[in-house]
Structure 1
Amino acid sequence: MIKRILLSVSLFMSLVAHAQNGTPSIYSFYGIGEVTFRGSVENRSMGGVAVFTDSIHINLQNPASYGSLKVTSFSVAATNNKTRFVTNSVNDNAGRTSIDYLAFAIPISKKFGAGIGVLPYSSVGYKLQTLASGTNTNNRRYEGSGGLNRVFFSLAYNFSENLSFGTDLQYNFGQIETSTLATIEGVQFGSREVSLSALSGFTFNTGFMYRRKVGKKNTLYSSITYTPGTSINLNNSRSIATVLIGANTENIQSETEVIVPDSKLKMPQRITFGAGFGEERHWLIGAELALTSNNGFANRFDDIQNVNYENGTKISFGGYFIPKYTAFNGYFNRVTYRAGARFEQSGLVVNGKNIEDKAVTFGLGLPLRGTFSNINLGCELGKRGTKAAGLVEERYTNISISLSLNDRWFVKRKYD
């Protein structure tokens, strides 16, 4: 198992060695960037639904799920994004490839399970330019990169066969750099402002999962997670420079450091309710409602005037179907078919418009012959934002792949 993990990590890292920022979204200009989906490819392919317990797959959304693991599991994933930006006058395209997560989980006993991993929380990756015609007019170029990442440790406890509780301890770290270059037509020099924030701090997440048999075959699932609002630290710096503009070059002529006070940013409070119904290892239909309290959330600096934050809502539907989990013949009878949809009001309000995000999803779970391991493929087709109020509509396609390596550890030998 360890050799397979090391080989998979090496192959995975070689594939994403040239990965770019995790998002090309223009809306990553605000706050600490675009908040990424915290979940596995398996759950993402079902619209984000993660209400059920699974004995071989890591569930990153609810820490209570680790109590149901029967095998040691290692999972790693990446996503390729293609986005088309549409306004009332201009269309453009961009793309990114990014690492989604790297996670490891292990069943400690019949009562306990644990997990550890790293994944992004938010990503910044925009490039914007405003051009004015005529002389003595201002042109501006905006660029941003970086984001906030999380290392997490999860521990779950089974109160009974049907009820489990879990908690995440998360350490947040990262760096966000944003720059603005202002030039005037016909003037050789421009000015550039660069703002840098180093982010750090702890957050928490707790969850319950409950399951109950209904009849001989079917199971009713329910779940709840709660993330309290906490603060993270921002170590800020800013510089202003005079730049000589040449043909495809920008040479700094003078640069001044500006004192910017360090600050704290309150992370949103979030609660999620979920319910599902189905036959284990055969089919499932589920739904989730997530409520986010953005009170107190803000941008890193106070010099952005056209944005504010409201409470957010996310609704997800989805499920899976396995024709015959125990089939000896017919590989596609053992494949997991997933599909779902989601609708989200992010709580980000720009120019008076609440930025909405909606998508349909589908995917496949491909078992590796002779093992508990599998390859998971997912596709997400969505739309974010609007063309109204001078904003941008983003039409995106996300293609995701994950490798889930699973094995039994610490099995006592009956014979030597």
Structure 2
Amino acid sequence: MLIRFILFTSALLLTTSSVLAQENSSSPYSFLGIGTKAFRGTVENRSMGGLGMLGDSIHLNLKNPAAYSDLKLTTFTAGATTNSVELESASGSDDLDYLTLDYIAIGLPFNNLGVGFGIKPRSAVGYELEERTTTTVSRLNGRGGLNTIHFSVGFEPFKNFRLGGTINYNFGDIENKSLIFRDQIQFASRELNFVDINGLSYNFGALYKFNLNEKLTINTSLRYETGSSLSVNSRRELATIQIGQNDTEIVVDEFNVEPRDSEIKLPEMLAFGAGIGEDKKWFLGLEYEHYQAGDFSSLSYNFGPDVAQIDANVFRLGGYFIPRYNDPVSYFKRVVYRAGLRMEQTGLEYRGEDIDEFGISFGLGLPAGRVFTNTNLGVEYFERGTTNNNLIQEKFISVFLSFSFNDKWFIKSKYN
């Protein structure tokens, strides 16, 4: 067991460096606030419209910590997504592709108690924008985002009722650069903003299920995330520059603004859901999430009068179907078939327009290797934003893949 733990810890450290280094977004809306949402749930969650209300013995549910108490085997999981995006505006369109590592986590069962930890991105900044007028050219670009290391505990105080909690350490940095070129002026103006963010946040969850009759089961869930404050350290560099060969920036004159400490507030979230199904056969559920407005106004360089954080609502509908989970002959009868849809307000209003999302998803849970090891594959089409008021609409096709490895680490010795 010790060797397995050392191997997992090594994998976690290596993957952590990959999570921190990657570019998780290419969205123009990632310019605003702390960026776009980077974690949308595990592949199993996302394939069902993002439902976060189910737990089982061999999968991790990173949205509801109460689900850790369902684990029967040690479970290690990691997921990644490849995104193809079409950016459409009133004047034209463009296409791009990028790959992200979404999460890496492990869950450990102890009788009616389960614990887990891992790392995932929380928000992502990655954009390159250009605006031209008759006299000026403005270029904006940025990178970075927030990451989260989490530790979760779930337990079952009495039969079919589960509770759980998660402590998150959020940390990251955001870098933004603005270049302005003016006609008949020799030098360009450059502004660099560097922001370091860190702090704790907390999630709580509950799951309860009961039998409606001999076959049907009702599942209910509740999730809550605190509206925590995170510390922000900001610094700014102002300069006049010349552009040299290969677009190198040659500083002519530079001025550093005194660093400033402030805070941002993450949005408070409350979610509840209910669904009906037959254990290890099928399930259909509906979930509602409400987010209070966050406060990112201290990031003044990208939070002007055109930007507003508002309350947000999310509706999710999804489920799964398994023809026969223990079929001894047919592989495809053991496959888990998933589908879902979501309608989501992002909580962002820009130039008077709500930046909303709509998505539809499908997925497969594929048994692989040993009986309790599986691969999960999903695809989602979703749209974000609008072309109204000179904005951009994004159309995504995201293909996501995860591996879930299961084993029994804690086996009591029968011999001395």
What residue is the counterpart of 1:104 in the other structure?
106
Contact 1:124 / 1:146 at 8 angstroms: preserved in 2? yes
- Aligned mates of 1:267, 1:248 — CA distance in 2: 40
Normalising by structure 2, we get a TM-score of 0.93
Shift of 1:390: 1.1
CA RMSD of aligned residues (A): 2.3
- Aligned mates of 2:294, 2:22 — CA distance in 1: 32
- Aligned mates of 2:272, 2:407 — CA distance in 1: 31
Shift of 1:217: 2.0
What residue is the counterpart of 2:187 in the other structure?
189
Shift of 1:92: 1.1
What residue ranges of structure 2 are gaps of 5+ in the alignment?
A: none
What residue is the counterpart of 1:334 in the other structure?
334
Shift of 1:160: 1.3
1:224 to 192, 215, 222: 222
Report how many aligned residue pairs link the two structures: 410
What code does the residue aligned with 2:124 have?
S
Matches within 5 A, 1:294-305: 294=293, 296-298=295-297, 300-301=299-300, 304-305=304-305
Shift of 1:218: 1.9
Shift of 1:273: 0.6
Matches within 5 A, 1:246-261: 246-249=244-247, 250-261=249-260
Q: Decide whether aligned partners of structure 1 residues 4 and 80 sit closer, same or farther in structure 2, where only a CA change above 3 A counts.
A: farther
Shift of 1:301: 1.5
Which has the higher mean CA deviation after the structures are superposed, 50-59 or 144-153? 50-59
- Aligned mates of 2:383, 2:139 — CA distance in 1: 25
What residue is the counterpart of 1:366 in the other structure?
366
Shift of 1:53: 2.0
- Aligned mates of 2:21, 2:199 — CA distance in 1: 26
Shift of 1:253: 2.4
Q: Decide whether aligned partners of structure 1 residues 412 and 17 sit closer, same or farther in structure 2, where only a CA change above 3 A counts.
A: closer
What code does the residue aligned with 2:206 have?
F
Shift of 1:22: 0.5
Shift of 1:25: 1.0
Which has the higher mean CA deviation after the structures are superposed, 261-270 or 179-188? 179-188
What code does the residue aligned with 1:182 have?
I
- Aligned mates of 2:259, 2:5 — CA distance in 1: 48
Deviations 1:353-393, CA, capped at 9 Å, x for gaps: 11111110111111113231111111110100000011110
What code does the residue aligned with 1:353 have?
E
Normalising by structure 1, we get a TM-score of 0.93
Local SS of the residue matching 1:324: coil
Contact 1:32 / 1:299 at 8 angstroms: preserved in 2? no
What code does the residue aligned with 2:254 have?
E
Contact 1:46 / 1:341 at 8 angstroms: preserved in 2? yes
Shift of 1:50: 2.1
Contact 1:283 / 1:321 at 8 angstroms: preserved in 2? yes
Local SS of the residue matching 2:30: helix
Which has the higher mean CA deviation after the structures are superposed, 180-189 or 309-318? 180-189
Shift of 1:411: 2.1
What residue is the counterpart of 2:143 in the other structure?
145
Shift of 1:19: 7.4
Matches within 5 A, 1:11-410: 20-110=22-112, 112-133=113-134, 137-249=135-247, 250-294=249-293, 296-298=295-297, 300-301=299-300, 304-410=304-410
Contact 1:138 / 1:184 at 8 angstroms: preserved in 2? yes
Shift of 1:415: 6.6
What code does the residue aligned with 1:193 have?
E
- Aligned mates of 2:290, 2:163 — CA distance in 1: 20
Shift of 1:97: 1.1
Local SS of the residue matching 1:389: helix
Q: Decide whether aligned partners of structure 1 residues 104 and 6 sit closer, same or farther in structure 2, where only a CA change above 3 A counts.
A: closer
Q: Decide whether aligned partners of structure 1 residues 269 and 17 sit closer, same or farther in structure 2, where only a CA change above 3 A counts.
A: closer
- Aligned mates of 2:123, 2:380 — CA distance in 1: 18
- Aligned mates of 1:189, 1:300 — CA distance in 2: 27
What residue is the counterpart of 1:412 in the other structure?
412
- Aligned mates of 1:345, 1:243 — CA distance in 2: 40
- Aligned mates of 2:261, 2:147 — CA distance in 1: 19
Shift of 1:281: 1.4
Local SS of the residue matching 1:327: coil
- Aligned mates of 1:290, 1:309 — CA distance in 2: 16
- Aligned mates of 1:299, 1:30 — CA distance in 2: 12
- Aligned mates of 2:206, 2:214 — CA distance in 1: 24
Shift of 1:313: 0.5
- Aligned mates of 1:130, 1:41 — CA distance in 2: 37
Shift of 1:159: 1.2
- Aligned mates of 1:117, 1:3 — CA distance in 2: 13
What code does the residue aligned with 1:74 have?
F
Contact 1:71 / 1:406 at 8 angstroms: preserved in 2? yes
Deviations 1:298-330, CA, capped at 9 Å, x for gaps: 361166221111100000011111111001111
- Aligned mates of 1:265, 1:20 — CA distance in 2: 23
- Aligned mates of 2:296, 2:217 — CA distance in 1: 39
What code does the residue aligned with 1:277 have?
I
